[in-house]
Structure 1
Amino acid sequence: MNKKQLVASVAKNTGHSQAVVAEILDGITNTIRVAVSDGGDVSVQYFGKFERTHRPARVGRHPQTGAELQIEESWGVRFSPAAGLKDSVRGRARAGLSPVSAVA
């Protein structure tokens, strides 16, 4: 499911216009992006947790020459699904439904 399909589905389920739903979705994703970029975590009950991860600098090897090279530190983001989301997905998988058909 892409963003356009998600917006259409939420609009249908809530009775709001797609424009309003798209604006709210943009606000949510921007808020998560800013919070995680600033080093915070964002937890949504029954959905999951977004958190910033740190990979320290380290020494690596060039795959062809074997020469050592310095790999700079980097930052990433991790999503950990909540137990409620995992249970929901597992229940759908056992019932033989695809996640898209279960939502749409």
Structure 2
Amino acid sequence: MTKAEIVEKMANEAGITKSAAQTALESFIDGVTKALKKKDGKVTLVGFGTFQKARRKARKGRNPQTGEVIKIKASNVVKFKPGKKLKDAI
């Protein structure tokens, strides 16, 4: 499902305009992003799931074309753990 499809579905089900739905979706995405930027970044939506920031350590990798060993820098990643309602629905 694309962002445009989500906006259309939100607009239809909530009975609002597509521009209002798009504003709401962008506001949600912005809020989650800002919350994850914090030191202990975590966003929990009960029943849906939890977005959490995690630190990935630096490690060695391999260039698949040349086989050369390369260094991969440490980075922050976002992990998602689905909630019970989402698991049951799928």
- Sort the TM-score into its range (normalised by shorter chain): 0.7 to 0.9
Give the structure 2 partner of residue 11 of structure 1: 11
Any idea what the Cα deviations from partners look like across 1:53-94, whole Å, max 9, x if unmatched?
111223x254525x5x543211111111101101011xxxxx
Give every structure 1 segment of 4 or more consecutive aligned residues whose post-TM-superposition deviation is greater than 4 Å: none
1:23 counterpart letter in structure 2: T
Q: What TM-score do you get using the length of structure 2 for normalisation? A: 0.83
Structure 2 residue runs without a partner (length 5+): none
Say which structure is richer in strand: 2
- Counterpart-to-counterpart distance in 1, 2:46 and 2:62: 43
Say which structure is richer in helix: 1
C-alpha RMSD over aligned residues: 1.7
Aligned length: 86
Larger Rg: 1
Structure 1 residue runs without a partner (length 5+): 90-104
| Identity fraction in percent | 27
Give the structure 2 partner of residue 50 of structure 1: 51
Give the structure 2 partner of residue 81 of structure 1: 82
- Counterpart-to-counterpart distance in 1, 2:85 and 2:48: 7
2:31 counterpart letter in structure 1: T
Q: What TM-score do you get using the length of structure 1 for normalisation? A: 0.73
- Structure 2 CA distance for partners of 1:17 and 1:62, relative to 1, 3 Å: closer
